[in-house]
Structure 1
């Protein structure tokens, strides 16, 4: 009898789940019928385009402004919709995440509408068709004639791209090096860490034209219809918006504007390579230094205040407060800073700069808390007893007796934390915040130079860190003599 009763319960639960599934299935057409994606764009008056501007001639930067064929197409679409275009820059492999979390309204970044991608996002009609190529060093021209010659070789491709999948599926035994930036792949190729780079033909041609020691193998891989075209990606269910964009694309195709946009992109590329000295691009680095110092300074101030509160909470006898502080410190120290920043930006929909500053500050606060707690524990217990015997309250004892002594003990550790912050703030570049690393990548994309921007950034970081180290050492000597 009990078994029968248990079986009836199980059947009831299954019936309920099947009913819910049917309800969801029936709700989908209704959702499509009431799609408001186009209306929302027109209501807010902006169309946000997500792109990774390191892929000339599709998207790249000139004078810190995004240009290229895809940007021109996006401008025409925004004009047809009667709204203003806003371009948001991020790494290629973060673009679809940005789309799904509504950070951007569409992705225009030479993206191929593969069946796998179609499962999570909607695509427009194909607006441009290009072949696939492999970039190699000129010295290897006699070795490689076809993609088949790369069997068991190390081949590079942009992470999350169609080319990455093509290498994986069609080159037997290939060891794939996936990087988020094509400029980094070019460096890897020139330094012989990889033997070739799989890229779209238009992109491969652009890079080879500006790197005389490289050449390109055209018309590579066995391509299906879905492997040779690029389209615009939208959030799933954006039926009305996709339909409106397809009308614009049909107009662009009819007027043959794509070739015009490609020609304009070619002229813009010449502007970038007219003067590729690092001094010419000094404004990029200056802007990056400004943002790096701003993020680090705000993060330090918040981190010290937060760390002090967390340390005192962990030393508190009020157990709930102690448990919360301990859980926070352990969780933050147990997860990577990059994941924390990306969760704030994508998961909680926090603006990029705010997410970057908050993520770095919250992370620093957890480490500062442990430094302060260790410093307080290092102060002899007799100091506390003497202060209390003189009638000082717990608050005054901490403020006037314990914390000043603890600060002297932990100052070297705090100094190391401040120095680390300047370098760790580079993590924010993954969500498009304009720090020094982000600007460095823009210079790489604009000049086609890989090593020189890294060298400049290294020197800048050294100057910042060396100057801060001298300042912290001076402050430490002053405290020791106080």
Structure 2
């Protein structure tokens, strides 16, 4: 294993950084998109309800690989071409945002209806009540499942290896095929993934305890 690090440490580091960048970018955009569609799913506007339902059901029921391959192979046939790294980020964002939307929707619906009524009675509009009263409470409720989605996103980022996304798994496959040292290679790759996922797990556990302590 130390020989692998000595000979291939530079490309493993590149793959690790690319995995980290792809995960952070996809996490940022999927959280924003998912929150919006989660709110739209429970909105009083039927058009927004329908739009959110179509979006969520579409990406909940499509395999991640199909989404990524669409943007890597099919999409460039009609629009400008994109590389595997970008296609992977787009696929991860769309796929994960659908799960986040459902999580946020469940959190909003678990907030007592009286909270929205209280906001409306004080002169807030529906959207102001949602933003300032309901949504903050919903986010506190859904921190544990959101944390699971974030961790799943990091693990799902290995899909970039299927489209030459230059991620950690891509370089792991490359090293394994060159050295035939499959066992040590994938043990090392797994360890590098844990460097990303374990701190994220502990961070979400800390936030869960913090919000529980604050009521």
- The TM-score with structure 2 as length reference comes to 0.92
Match of 1:293 in 2: 20
Match of 1:408 in 2: 140
Q: Is the 8 A contact 2:116 2:134 kept in 1?
A: yes
Check if 1:420 corresponds to 2:147. Answer: no
**1:463, CA displacement in angstroms?**
2.6
**1:445, CA displacement in angstroms?**
2.3
2: CA distance, partners of 1:289 / 1:367 = 25
Check if 1:454 corresponds to 2:180. Answer: no
Match of 1:165 in 2: none
Q: Is the 8 A contact 1:276 1:447 kept in 2?
A: no
- Matched residue SS, 2:197: helix
2: CA distance, partners of 1:403 / 1:460 = 35
1: CA distance, partners of 2:64 / 2:35 = 20
**1:481, CA displacement in angstroms?**
3.1
Q: Counterparts of 1:56-71 in structure 2 under 5 Å? A: none
2: CA distance, partners of 1:403 / 1:358 = 26
> Number of aligned pairs?
208
Match of 1:361 in 2: 93
Flag the structure with higher helix content: 2
Q: Is the 8 A contact 1:311 1:373 kept in 2?
A: yes
- Matched residue SS, 1:454: helix
Q: Which has the larger radius of gyration?
A: 1
Higher relative contact order (CA 8 A, sep 6+): 2
Match of 2:172 among 426, 440, 455: 440
Q: Is the 8 A contact 2:168 2:189 kept in 1?
A: yes
Q: Counterparts of 1:1-400 in structure 2 under 5 Å? A: 277-280=3-6, 281-349=8-76, 350-351=81-82, 352-400=84-132
Calculate the aligned-residue CA RMSD, in Å. Answer: 1.5
1: CA distance, partners of 2:25 / 2:142 = 20
4+ residue runs over 4 A deviation: none
Residues 462/444 of structure 1: CA separation in 2 closer, same or farther (3 Å cut):
same
**1:316, CA displacement in angstroms?**
2.1
1: CA distance, partners of 2:2 / 2:151 = 31
Q: Is the 8 A contact 1:333 1:366 kept in 2?
A: yes
2: CA distance, partners of 1:279 / 1:300 = 29
Match of 1:468 among 200, 209, 214: 200
2: CA distance, partners of 1:314 / 1:437 = 35
2: CA distance, partners of 1:384 / 1:320 = 21
Q: Is the 8 A contact 2:143 2:207 kept in 1?
A: no
**1:387, CA displacement in angstroms?**
1.6
Listed as ranges, the gaps of 5+ residues in structure 1 are: 1-274
- The TM-score with structure 1 as length reference comes to 0.42
Flag the structure with higher strand content: 1
Match of 1:121 in 2: none
